[in-house]
Amino acid sequence: MTRELKGANWGRQAMSRSVCVIVPSVANAVELGITLDGLLSQTYYGPLEIVVVGPGSDSGREQAESRGVRFIDDAASRTRGDACNVALEATESDLVMFTDDDVIVPKEWVANLARWFERPGVAGVGGPNFAPPEHSTLQQQIIDVSFCSTIFTVGTNYGRQGAGKLDEVEQLPGVNSAYRRSVLQEVGGFPPGCIGAEDVILDHMIRQAGHRLWTDRTAVMWHRRRDLSRVKRQIRNYGLVRTLASHEHRELRSWSHTLVALFPPIVIAAFGFFLWGLANGGLNWPEFWDISYETVPMGWPRAGVHTLVSLIVLYNLIAWYGAAKGSSPCRTPKTVFLSSIATFALHWNYGMGVLRGWWRIFIGNSGLQIDDRVRG
């Protein structure tokens, strides 16, 4: 389904639909102001409402109201999904779009997404999200290159681009998504009290109801990445909530998400094997620079020493290749080379999150898990 609808009539019909853009925001007033300025500069000529939803005491309220943007107090909400449901109940529009409070919004974003809803088979549509190269630090650019790898992080929504103008997908990124309000009402909105991965579960319910989701490769959202320390926390949380969501909805289980859980144990085992090999004569330190493989007899100690080195080299080669072939606009020789460090941090923390999720399932107490910004 890649044929474009053409003609001025289609454009006029698309612009006739009312749109509500919902922006959940917590403790990020400065970046929220930039997001709102972008939304207020949209080229969409149809009815357009912008709504910020957050705790009433949050400084984002001033940013919204100073620009004439509606602010909805969701003080009772504990999760992003609940906050979005509050906004859904308080608004009316044909289409509902979601984004975050740390984005730079292209002027054509609303129009690019709204145009596809003239097709009856489109229940929701989104697009890729990238770090803006000119507004990102080197660290943020490196993280974006890692996120958009064609190998190690290919299962994520970061930077995912379809092959054609409009391609069907299973999930839309929460930072760049649009839906028919009627479809959201049919499935009851986001799961109340959802522990996380609320966008994953919402899209799963929409597809279970028989609707179809699509991605437009041209509808890019510029999404600021967090620094590495905050990304590690974010990714641990993703691993945890995705695991808990997959336990509740078994159709969401994926071998790629589960496989990452093996990463921390493999790393620990490799380092342990290496240290054991050293302690048992696997490397003759006085003759280390003498490349003579007859110095140390072949055996398990020597295998322990060489296994870690071989895995490190192989991992970096794969990481570099995937990053170089990825979709990030931040790719340079420098960011690609350094991206393997960020990729390792992503794998380690996501894997630890999955393991933590498995533990919670094992003990039968998932606990309260909110997103990595405390609400309320």
Q: pLDDT class for 86, splitting at 50, 70, 90?
A: very high
pLDDT for the residue numbered 9: 43
Query: Higher-confidence residue: 157 or 356?
Result: 356
pLDDT at 210 over 60: yes
Tokens 């695991």 correspond to 243
pLDDT for the residue numbered 254: 81
Q: Can you say whether residue 169 is alpha, beta or left, with left for phi > 0 and alpha for psi between -120 and 50 degrees?
A: beta
Single-letter amino acid code for the residue at 370: I
Buried b (16+ CB within 10 A) or exposed e, 49-66: ebbbbbbeebebbebbee
pLDDT for the residue numbered 370: 45
Q: Reduced to 3 DSSP states, what percent helix, strand and coil does the chain have, rounded to the nearest 5?
A: 50, 10, 40
CATH topology of domain 8-136+156-226: Spore Coat Polysaccharide Biosynthesis Protein SpsA; Chain A (3.90.550)
Task: Calculate the average pLDDT of the chain.
Answer: 85
**Any idea which of 36-45, 111-120, 304-313 has the lowest mean pLDDT?**
304-313
Q: What is the mean pLDDT of residues 337-352?
A: 95
Note whether 183 and 208 are within 8 A (CB): no
Query: Higher-confidence residue: 76 or 268?
Result: 268
Q: What is the mean pLDDT of residues 361-367?
A: 74
Closest CA to 96 of 72, 113, 121: 113
Q: pLDDT class for 305, splitting at 50, 70, 90?
A: confident
pLDDT for the residue numbered 332: 96
Domain boundaries, the chain: 8-136+156-226
pLDDT for the residue numbered 79: 82
Note whether 215 and 125 are within 8 A (CB): yes
pLDDT at 190 over 70: yes
Note whether 11 and 88 are within 8 A (CB): no
Q: Which of 286-290, 339-343, 360-364 has the highest mean pLDDT?
A: 339-343
Q: pLDDT class for 299, splitting at 50, 70, 90?
A: confident
pLDDT for the residue numbered 156: 63
Q: Which of 95-99, 190-194, 199-203 has the highest mean pLDDT?
A: 95-99
pLDDT at 371 over 60: no
Tens digits of per-residue pLDDT, 236-277?
988 888 888 888 888 888 887 788 899 999 999 999 999 988
With pLDDT > 90 as the criterion, what percentage of the chain qualifies? 56
Q: pLDDT class for 7, splitting at 50, 70, 90?
A: very low
- Cβ neighbourhood burial of 23 (10 Å; 0-12, 13-18, 19+): buried
Q: Which of 160-174, 225-239, 252-266, 341-355 has the highest mean pLDDT?
A: 341-355
pTM: 0.86
